[in-house]
Structure 1
Amino acid sequence: MEVYTLANIKSAKKRILVNRTKAARNKAIKSAVKTSIKKVEAAVAKKDKEAASAALVNAVSTISKATSKGVYHKNNCARKISRLTKAVNSIG
C-alpha cells in the first residue's frame, strides 16, 4: 500500500500509516464516550432517576476503558465521572 505524502523515508511512511490507524481508533473511542455522556445528561434532563443511574454505570465503564487505553488523562476521566455522578445525584 503506497502512502501519497511528502515523506520519502520508509519508516516515515510507516509512521503516517500507524498514526492514521491510531487516530481512527481514538476518534471512535472518544465518540463512544461522548454518546454515553449525552445519554446520562438526557436522562437527568427528564429527571428519570433509574434511567440516569443505568446510563451512568455504562458511561463510567466507557470512560474508564478510554482512560486505560490512553485516550484520556486520568484526571480528565475522574472529572467527567465526577460531574456525571453529581448530576445524577442531584435528581430529587
Structure 2
Amino acid sequence: MACRFLNISTSGYYDWASRPPSPRAVADAELTRTIRRIHADSRETYGAPRVLAELRLGLGVNVSRKRVARRMRLDGITGVAHRRKHRGWKRTPRPTTIS
C-alpha cells in the first residue's frame, strides 16, 4: 500500500531496506560515539567548539566545525552556557553646567 502511495516499486523498496549502511553513515555513527565520550569526560560541559578542539588536537581526527555541531545537535548534546550577569545599575547622567 505504501509503495503504491509513494509511486515506487515493491522490489525497489526491499532493495533499499536490505542495503547496508553507507560509509558516511558508519563514519557519522563512530563520530557521534566519540563526541558522546568527550562530552561525558568533560562532565557534560563542553560545547561544539571545545569538542572540536579535543577531536582535532587531542585525537587527531580531521573533521569540520559544522559537522561536529550538526552531530551534537542531532544527538541532543549541548554544552553549558554561562551568561553574564546583568547588573542593575545605570550610569549616572553627566552633570549639567550652569553658566
TM-score, normalised to structure 1, is 0.35
* Higher normalized contact order (CA 8 Å, seq sep 6+, divided by chain length): 1
Structure (1/2) with the larger helix percentage = 1
TM-score, normalised to structure 2, is 0.34
